[in-house]
Each structure stands twice: as structure tokens, then as C-alpha cells.
Structure 1
Amino acid sequence: MKRFLLLPLLTMLLALVSTTGSARALNAPLNDDTIVVRLPNQATMTLYVKDRAQLRELRNYKLDSLMVLLDTYIAQAEKASKNSTSEQVTMEFYPAKDQPGKKVPEQIRITMHNDQTTDRPAKKGDRVDVSVGRVFGVTVEESNTDGNDRVSVRVGSSAKSDSIRTAERKAKQEERANRAVHSNFDIDLGLNALTNKQRDINGNSLDLRPVASRYISLNWHYDIRLGRKGSPLYLRTGPELAFNNYMLDNNYQFVNQKGVNQPDVTVLQKPAEAGRNLEKSKLAVSSLNLPLMPMLSFRDKEGKDSFRIGAGGFVGYRLGSHTKLKYEEDGNTKKDKDRGSYNLTDFQYGVQGTIGIRSIDLFAKYNLNHTFKDNRGPQANTISFGLSILQ
């Protein structure tokens, strides 16, 4: 589009904002945020605003001086566009830095679009996007389908035009999709259960309260692509800080029992005080795990995560553990906390799997090692399952 059209048309826009009745809208029904103006030279100007208050924001600028400034910058952008083979050329200018003390925009961004369609010859600068400061953006577009020029002026609260915003979003999505290593933080929220349970040396069964035996894990994962660019196959790894809570049922608590000339053994035992009812009796275990899990991760047409599935293994090490009791005594609520190993297995390993869509996964982890050391505690294997929430 010829640059000289911009100055008079936007000057007419100033008249539209400052006066009433200088131009009449078309008779066609329109949305509240659209104003179509037919100018005397048969050109059509379309103004898009959120409301009338946004239209009045244009008065904050001296549009005659602004148009002269824009005309200078557009000339520079047009020159750069003619020397470029790309379909889009964007330049940024900072008038406030160049002219300190004057009421001029802090930033002006100009994007020249080069029409490369096959049904018409290439023409430099067929469309110009101008974004001024943080108040409004101006889009000037030429259409020659019926021999008449049409100009669209878009007024928005963002300094970036829709086309620039879309291009930047797509560029970020493509950059992430092509990245060889993705890092992310997610949280596992779930429950613990025990399998392959055996009674302790006193014949007591290790039973848990299902809903109260919670599993939480804070995960810093790295998805490493396996194969060439665009491959959906990844290897997931990265540290996981996990917290397993085992809430006992049937008024039992964990106690270390030591025999003569024998190592201590962890057993299940009811309170020694007659009539004491344990409101809470749990064993809390923290561990640091490292998964090694191949997975397939697919993306939709917009480059966003859509579906993934994976299965593999993990290893880990117990960091700490403690028991916690809560009960009533003499009308007061008391809490006892005791730190110790309770003959738990230090080194952990197992298998895990995940399946998910968008930002939510379902996960399951099964410990192949016994929860307690052999012959030193009630034998069982831990299984954890629940939801993974991606951040």
C-alpha cells in the first residue's frame, strides 16, 4: 500500500474522534465494537474498539504530530521491507528516548507484510501494522479486489498487533516442540496401599486407612528426545522428592521391639495405656527418587501437549522417617512424634507408568523392594497412585 495514504486517513480519524457528524456509519447492522466509516473519496475505514472510552484514549496523543512521526518510521520500515525476501519485516523505534521531554510514545513497532500469494504478483508493503506505546495499535491494510482501497484501523489495549502476537506464540510453540530437552515441574498427589502383606512376628496384620495414607511428590523432570527432530519418543528423568504416609488402622502403632542378643524388630502394637484411642497413628517416610521412563508425547496442530503415555522404572533412597501419634489424655489433645528408621528399607526401586492429556496425568508406582527390611518388620510392598498436575 502506498505510504502517503496513511497520513490523510489517520488525520480523518482525528476528526472522527474530536467531532460528531463529520462522517456517517454505514446502514448495515454492526457490533457495538465496530464502526465503519465511508469517507468522501470512496475509501472505507473500519475502526475496532472495545468501547467508546477506548476510542477517547486517542485524544491523549496529538495525532497530527504522531502521524508525521509514524510516516518517517514507516518509510524506514518500507525501505527495509523492499530489501528483504521474507514475508514479514518488523522494526521497533523508541521516540521517547530520542526526544526526551516530549509527549511521544515510548515504543513504536512497525510490521510490513509482503503479499506473496500466487494469484497476484508480489508487492512490498501490502499491509502495515503499527503498534504505538501501550495505548493502541493501528493496522493499515490495502485491498484491491474491487479497485477500491480499504483501510482498517484497530484500537486495542495491547502494544502488539494480533498478527505479531500470533506469530510470537507460534514461534514459542515451535521452539518448544523442536527442543531436544524439555524441563518441567509437576506435583504428584495420590494414595498409598500395601500389597503382598504378611503378619508381623506377633501375628498382627498391617492394615492402612486408605484415604488417609497419602502420597505427595515434587518432581523436577527432564524429557530428553530420543531420535531425530520431531520424534515423539522421550526419556523422562529428573529428581523427585517423595513423601509416603502410612496411616495405621485398628488402633495400632509402630513400635521397635528388641530381644536379648537380637537386633530390634518393628512390630504393630496397641497402646500400653488401657482405653487409649489413637485418633491418628502414622509412619511418614521421605525419599529422593530418580525415574528412568521412556514415553511417547504427542502434540496437537497448535504445538500444545495433547497426549502422552510412558512406562519404566525408578530408583530411590530413604531420606528420613518418623511416627506420629494423636490421642486424647485427661481431656487434652496430645501429639507424639518420634524420629527413627523403624527398620525401613533404605534403597528403593520399582516400576512406574503414566498416561495423560493436556496438563493432567494419571500415575502408578510399584515398589519391588519390601517396605521393611527382611525379618525386621511386617513384610509388604508399597503401591502409590493418583494424579500428576503439570505446572
Structure 2
Amino acid sequence: MKRLSSLLAVLLLTVLAAPCRTQAATTPASNDDTIVVKLPNQATMTLHTKNKEQLRELRTYRLDTLMALLDKYIRQAEVASKNANNSSVTMEFYPAKERPGTQAPEQIRVTVRNEEPSAKKVAVKGYKFGQVFSVTVKESAKEPGKDGENKDTNDEISINIGRDTRQNSDSLRNAARARKREEHDRRAVHSNFSLDLGLNALANRSSLAEEQFDLKPTGSRYLSLNWHYDIRVGGRRSPFFLVLGPELAFNNYMFDNNRRILAADTRTFIQHEPELSLEKSKLATTVLNLPLMAKLNFQDKTGHDAFRIGAGGFAGYRLASHSKIKYENEGNTRKDKDRNSFNLEEFQYGVQGIIGVRGIDLFVKYNMNELFKNNRGPQAQSVSFGISILD
């Protein structure tokens, strides 16, 4: 590598400091902006420029400083490639930031590829003011000759200065995004996953004094995992969708004022516990819901979702329910858990609505039937509201 670095320095100095002698050693090329220099040791240097002005701009670089940077970075890349298990190692360096105020490339990228056990390729790239300065070095490898002895293959050095290829990469990425949006628009059915985070409340409460109780607002949490299918209605550009798909909802109802839920055979009570100091007391249910909702989904000029609004209904079935209390007893913390139906309604149904921007929706769900079975528990209807985070 020292030999290649020294050779690169000599070749750069030859091209920049003595253009007349370089031209004499150059093989004629069809392009006036291409210079090829061949040396007696079979090494070849190719210099590609967009125009002659770019060639003259190389005079602004301090070649001794540049060569020292390249030699240091190539050594670091070689060490990293020896310690890596994969066949390719890429490292990026920023000389302009390391040495502010000096004339240095903004970025140098070194890639070491172990293509064969006997060959190695090192590529170095640096970006300067929207142009590309690149150096490619291919080390010599031992190959058997006709006489049975090993011989060195040719060393190859290539220097390129031209238009920034990142512009082409950006164009390719934009084209890929446009194709992806086009394929998305052509599909009539889109699947997505969303997560609902919110709170539970109770509406249309009973007026009976013995059925009065309060919920802790921040403790009565709602969580739902949603797998929805958006079915487009009215053509590939239509903003109208039907939404359906399973939802697994977890409801917490956290009781306040030292109350707990107790169930008898025919009726459920939420009663005060004067003998216990309840730190936590809640009713938890797990419900499988199936919504059916009409939604308008509007997109911006770039084809991304911008605004949506929807409304519809849902039906669900209660999968499980339990109560849990936490309290202090003789200096010890106790947790009691009771799995029970608590005379809750097995089936539920209601209405819901959403309104959203970008990847976040606001939602509200209102259960139209009672939380408990008729005359077997306190009268109340459940309301859930919060935010929905889309994938």
C-alpha cells in the first residue's frame, strides 16, 4: 500500500505540475477530457474531467496533505477489512470538518472488497462543492505464470472528477417512491396495523344512590390492537373507503374512593370497603371487536395521506374479565385477583368515529348497550376515546 500511495502521489504531481510531459505519455483518447498515463511498471492512471476547468481546479488541493489523508484512511480501511467477517467494509471520513479552514475534500469514502483470496480492491471517494473526486486502487495479486512461478498482476489507478452521482441517486429514489405510490393507488384493498391508546369513561349512569361510584380518569385506560382492511370504493383515485378488520381491545375501569367490585350469583355490586385501604381497585375486560366504518381519505400533492374522517359502527364479544385489588395488610402488600364474568354483557355493539392527519387519528367509541346485564349490575354505558397511531 505504501508503494501504491507513493505511486499515486507521483502520478498526481505528474499530471498537475507538468501537463506537457503528461500529454506526451498519454495514449490518445477519443474524448479530449480523458487522460490516460501508462508507466513502465504496467500501472495505469486514468483522469476523467467534465471540462478543462475541472482539471485546473485540482491545483487548489495540497497534494502532500491529500496523499497523507488517503494513505491514513486506506490503512484504517485495510485494518477494518481484516477484522470483519463479511466481504465488504465501507468507512466514511470528513477531512473538511477535521481540518476547518483548509482546502480538503468534504467527504472521503473508502470501500474494501475482498473479491478473491488473492485480490483486494480499495475504492476512495471524496465530495467537493457538488463534484466528485474519486480514486480507485487495485492491488497486485499473485498469479501462476506459464513457467510455474508466481507473478504480479497489473496495478490499476483510476481518478475521476465529474458531476455528483448523488443527484442520480436522488432521482432513482424519487422514481422508486413514485412507482410505489402508483402501485399502492392501483390496489383496491390496503391492509394496515394501528394501535389505539386512550381512556375509558361511563355514560348514562344510574340515579340510584346504592349504584353511585366514580372512576379514576388516568387509571381507566384503553388499549386496542387493530388489523384493518381499507377497501376502496369508486375507482382508483376515489377517497372513499370501507374499513373493517379485527380489533383486540383491553379495557380498564379503575374505581375511586376505596370501592371494589363484587359479584353474587344474580347481581354485581361496587361497594365501599371501610376496613381496607385500597391502593388499587379495578375491573379489566378483553374484547374482540369487528368494526364497519365509512372513511374519506384525502391525499396531498405528493400522494401521501393528508386528512381523513370516518364514522360507522362496531360489534364485539367479551373474551375475558377479572378484578384486581392492591392493599396493605399487617404491614404487607397484598394483591387479590378474581377471574369472573361479573354479570357483564357478553356481546356489545356501538358507534365510533375518527378524524386524523398524517399518521395520527383521534377516535371515540360509544357502547350503545349496557356494560352489565339488565338488572344484574349498575346501569352504565362505556365510552372510549384517545389517539390511534398508524403504521
Displacement of 1:154 in angstroms is: 1.7
C-alpha distance in structure 1 between counterparts of 2:244 and 2:363, whole Å = 15
User: Which residue pairs with 1:327 in the alignment?
Assistant: 327
Q: Which runs of 5+ in 2 are unaligned?
A: 1-29, 37-44, 50-54, 62-92, 96-103, 124-135, 137-160
**Contact 1:281/1:326, CA 8 A, preserved across alignment:** yes
| Structure 1 residue corresponding to 2:47, chosen from 2, 5, 12 | 12
Displacement of 1:250 in angstroms is: 1.7
Q: Residue by residue, what CA displacement relative to the aligned partner does 1:182-233 show, whole Å, maximum 9, x if unpaired? A: 1111100000110111156x71313211111010000011111011111000
Mean Cα deviation higher: 297-306 or 355-364: 297-306
Displacement of 1:330 in angstroms is: 0.8
Displacement of 1:152 in angstroms is: 4.1
The answer to whether residue 172 in structure 2 is matched with residue 164 in structure 1 is yes
User: Which residue pairs with 1:178 in the alignment?
Assistant: 186
Letter in structure 2 aligned against 1:311:
A
Give the secondary structure class of the aligned counterpart of 2:175: helix
Q: Residue by residue, what CA displacement relative to the aligned partner does 1:135-194 show, whole Å, maximum 9, x if unpaired? A: xxxxxxxxxxxxxxxx842255x9x72211111112112222332111111100000110
C-alpha distance in structure 2 between counterparts of 1:340 and 1:59, whole Å = 64
C-alpha distance in structure 1 between counterparts of 2:377 and 2:281, whole Å = 17
Give the secondary structure class of the aligned counterpart of 1:203: helix
Which has the larger Rg? 2
Q: Residue by residue, what CA displacement relative to the aligned partner does 1:51-109 show, whole Å, maximum 9, x if unpaired? A: 55775447969xxxxxxxxxxxxxxxxxxxxxxxxxxxxxxxxxx7xx99755699xxx
Give the secondary structure class of the aligned counterpart of 1:194: strand
C-alpha distance in structure 2 between counterparts of 1:293 and 1:59, whole Å = 53
C-alpha distance in structure 2 between counterparts of 1:228 and 1:22, whole Å = 56
User: Which residue pairs with 2:14 in the alignment?
Assistant: none
| Structure 1 residue corresponding to 2:58, chosen from 20, 23, 33 | 23
Give the secondary structure class of the aligned counterpart of 1:220: strand
Displacement of 1:24 in angstroms is: 3.8
**Contact 2:110/2:122, CA 8 A, preserved across alignment:** no
**Contact 1:206/1:378, CA 8 A, preserved across alignment:** no
Letter in structure 1 aligned against 2:200:
N
Give the secondary structure class of the aligned counterpart of 1:317: strand
Letter in structure 2 aligned against 1:12:
L
Aligned pair in 2 of structure 1 residues 256, 58: CA closer, same or farther (>3 Å)? closer
User: Which residue pairs with 2:270 in the alignment?
Assistant: 268
**Contact 1:222/1:237, CA 8 A, preserved across alignment:** yes
Runs of 4+ in 1 over 6 A off after TM superposition: 58-61
User: Which residue pairs with 1:143 in the alignment?
Assistant: none
User: Which residue pairs with 2:311 in the alignment?
Assistant: 311
Aligned pair in 2 of structure 1 residues 58, 307: CA closer, same or farther (>3 Å)? same
C-alpha distance in structure 1 between counterparts of 2:315 and 2:349, whole Å = 4
**Contact 2:112/2:121, CA 8 A, preserved across alignment:** no
User: Which residue pairs with 1:245 in the alignment?
Assistant: 252
Report % sequence identity. Answer: 52
C-alpha distance in structure 1 between counterparts of 2:335 and 2:300, whole Å = 51
C-alpha distance in structure 1 between counterparts of 2:218 and 2:366, whole Å = 18
User: Which residue pairs with 2:233 in the alignment?
Assistant: 226
Give the secondary structure class of the aligned counterpart of 1:11: strand
User: Which residue pairs with 2:17 in the alignment?
Assistant: none
Q: Residue by residue, what CA displacement relative to the aligned partner does 1:340-369 show, whole Å, maximum 9, x if unpaired? A: 100100111100000000011000000001
Letter in structure 2 aligned against 1:154:
D
Aligned pair in 2 of structure 1 residues 59, 153: CA closer, same or farther (>3 Å)? farther
C-alpha distance in structure 1 between counterparts of 2:384 and 2:261, whole Å = 21
| Structure 2 residue corresponding to 1:193, chosen from 201, 214, 233 | 201
Query: What TM-score do the two structures reach when normalised by structure 1?
Result: 0.63
The answer to whether residue 296 in structure 2 is matched with residue 289 in structure 1 is no
Aligned pair in 2 of structure 1 residues 224, 329: CA closer, same or farther (>3 Å)? same
Letter in structure 1 aligned against 2:46:
T
Q: Residue by residue, what CA displacement relative to the aligned partner does 1:232-261 show, whole Å, maximum 9, x if unpaired? A: 000111110001111111211111134xxx
Give the secondary structure class of the aligned counterpart of 1:388: strand
**Contact 1:217/1:242, CA 8 A, preserved across alignment:** yes
Letter in structure 2 aligned against 1:153:
R
The answer to whether residue 220 in structure 2 is matched with residue 213 in structure 1 is yes
**Contact 2:308/2:357, CA 8 A, preserved across alignment:** yes
**Contact 2:112/2:120, CA 8 A, preserved across alignment:** no
C-alpha distance in structure 2 between counterparts of 1:306 and 1:54, whole Å = 38
